[in-house]
Amino acid sequence: MAKRANIKTLADYRAAVEAEITAAMSEIDIREHVRSLLQSKAYQIVTAALGFDTRWDRIEVDHCNGLRNKAADTMLAEAKDAAELWLLEQAGALPKLSAAAVKALHRDYLTCLNTETRRLLQERATRDAARQVDAILQDDA
């Protein structure tokens, strides 16, 4: 640091610090330093710019960064296609279901269908009732 005896004001201190920084920076090749820093982090920089997360030593689509990009979309589409193909291959390798198992699955399906239909009808009835009450209250006003 510059001689402290010459520093009497804040402006003197600022000038001394700037002079020290300038001297130190002249000894460093800034472009090479930045290039070296970027090169050491190239993998993280490129994957993050493409919308991927590499924190756990694997590449994942980063859903939290708000980026939607072609690379991530392509990767997701390829992964989906591969998963669908694998599932189809697995389905072909499954043993035949017995008639009793098919009947039980059909019965379970109908139970689920009826339950969900009732739930959706209840929601619809609740909305319709609320509209009718609002209409009645508006007529009274």
pTM, full prediction: 0.33
One-letter-per-residue 3-state SS of 72-124: HHHHHHHHHHHHHHHHHHHHHHCCCCCHHHHHHHHHHHHHHHHHHHHHHHHHH
**Strand, coil or helix: 60:** strand
Q: d(Cα 140, Cα 62) in Å, to the nearest integer?
A: 55
pLDDT in tens, 75-121: 677 777 887 787 777 777 767 878 898 899 999 999 999 999 999 99
Residue that has been written with the tokens 């009835």 in this structure:
125
Mean per-residue pLDDT over the chain, rounded: 80
Among the listed residues 73, 80, 72, 38, the one whose alpha carbon sits nearest the alpha carbon of residue 52: 72
